Amino acid sequence: MEEAKIVVVGAGPAGIATAVEAKAAGIEPVVVLEKSDKPCETIHKYYHPGKRVDPVYRKVKVEPIGICRFDTCTKEEFLELMERYIKEYDLDVRYWHEVHKIEREGDCFVVHAGKDTVIKAPVVVIAIGIFGRPNKPRYPIPKEVKDRVFLGTQAELPENFKKVLVVGGGDSAAETACFLADKGAQVYLSYRRPQFFRINETNMAELEKRVKEGKITLMMNTDIEGLEPAPEGVQVNFKDGQKMVFDAIFYCLGGSTPENFLRSIGVEMDGKRPKVDEYYETNVPGLFLAGDLVFEKGSIMAAFNSAHKVVEGIKKKHAARLERGC
């Protein structure tokens, strides 16, 4: 298991700025985990070529308070600036490392990302955007069964859902299947390939354990053609002609909502917004939020400023925790 002082989740403007502020404060190692293949992936994806990037948000100019700052520029110029910050501060950014689980272990966090990366750190900063959405199946979900179909991991299992289907072949599918099995459900796990190749060793061991215990039934090399309402629940029609009825279906096909992700870690919410203090620390000690999670989306300068406040809070409130390490 790797160790760091701070793990930053997300390499957008807030995530990069947090790592810059931490490195400038002499805190290291700092690891930034990014699910895509580039920094500021949302700007790459949603900003058209030549789009103006402005520190003015809704006619209000946000004054910079930290290291990262910019003047009005184009999309391309802004992305070049972010690359310069990464190089100048020698940031350790790990691409293709989507974080799928964060656990508490004593005074530290254990962060699971990518296929088999596990990093232990006393402080975690989540700087993901709000554009994430769970991936949906390619076939429609009938409106009659939408209350029995879930996208992503579910925090609770209704008592009347005894026979459930989990669809997917990654870590979130394995974790969801184990969670539901431990809640007393009879779980079936459907994956379209003949074997798993994206599940990390820990989750694979937990999955195999419950399979041996008879709590989970693997349905490998199965592909779903569509869903139909049934008197007893949801009928699943497989491409091989097989038909099965389940009380509920959980799709774990990638993607996530920040709200579900935060709740899974134990973050308290005020409606759909997370509760944070003046340094954007959550109710979970050592777990901070930055960027769109604490500001309305769109203000890049506010995201930069949130990173400065976060690191200020880390230094003020968790100096001993950083010194002690894990």
User: Which CATH number is 159's domain given?
Assistant: 3.50.50.60
Same domain, 272 and 212: no
Same domain, 109 and 168: no
In total, the chain counts a number of residues equal to 326
pLDDT in tens, 302-323: 999 999 999 999 999 999 999 9
- Domain encompassing residue 282: 2-132+257-324
Q: How confident is the model at residue 271 (pLDDT cuts 50, 70, 90)?
A: confident
Please indicate, yes or no, if residue 137 is contained in any of the structural domains.
no
User: Which one is predicted more confidently, 155 or 71?
Assistant: 71
What is residue 240's predicted lDDT score, i.e. its pLDDT? 94
Q: Quote the CA–CA distance of 13 and 242 in Å, as a whole number.
A: 48
Same domain, 166 and 52: no
Please indicate, yes or no, if residue 155 is contained in any of the structural domains.
yes
Q: Taking all residues of the chain, what is their mean pLDDT, rounded to a whole number?
A: 90
Domain count, the chain: 2
Same domain, 152 and 227: yes
Predicted TM-score (pTM) of the model is 0.67
Which of 24-38, 92-106, 119-133, 163-177 has the least mean pLDDT? 119-133
User: Which one is predicted more confidently, 254 or 144?
Assistant: 144
Please indicate, yes or no, if residue 224 is contained in any of the structural domains.
yes
Are 173 and 252 contacting, i.e. CB atoms less than 8 angstroms apart? yes
Chain centroid, CA 282 distance in Å: 16
| pLDDT over threshold 70, residue 278 | yes
The stretches of the chain forming alpha helices (DSSP H) are 13-24, 41-46, 75-88, 171-182, 201-212, 258-265, 300-317, 319-324
Same domain, 185 and 275: no
Share of the chain above pLDDT 90, in %: 65
Supply the angle between the helices 201-212 and 171-182 in degrees, to the nearest 10.
40
What is residue 69's predicted lDDT score, i.e. its pLDDT? 94
Same domain, 122 and 8: yes
Q: CB 54: neighbour CB atoms within 10 A?
A: 17
pLDDT in tens, 105-133: 988 999 999 888 999 999 999 998 765 56
Q: How confident is the model at residue 296 (pLDDT cuts 50, 70, 90)?
A: low
pLDDT in tens, 52-86: 788 876 667 788 999 999 998 999 999 999 999 99
Q: CB 246: neighbour CB atoms within 10 A?
A: 26
Same domain, 192 and 122: no
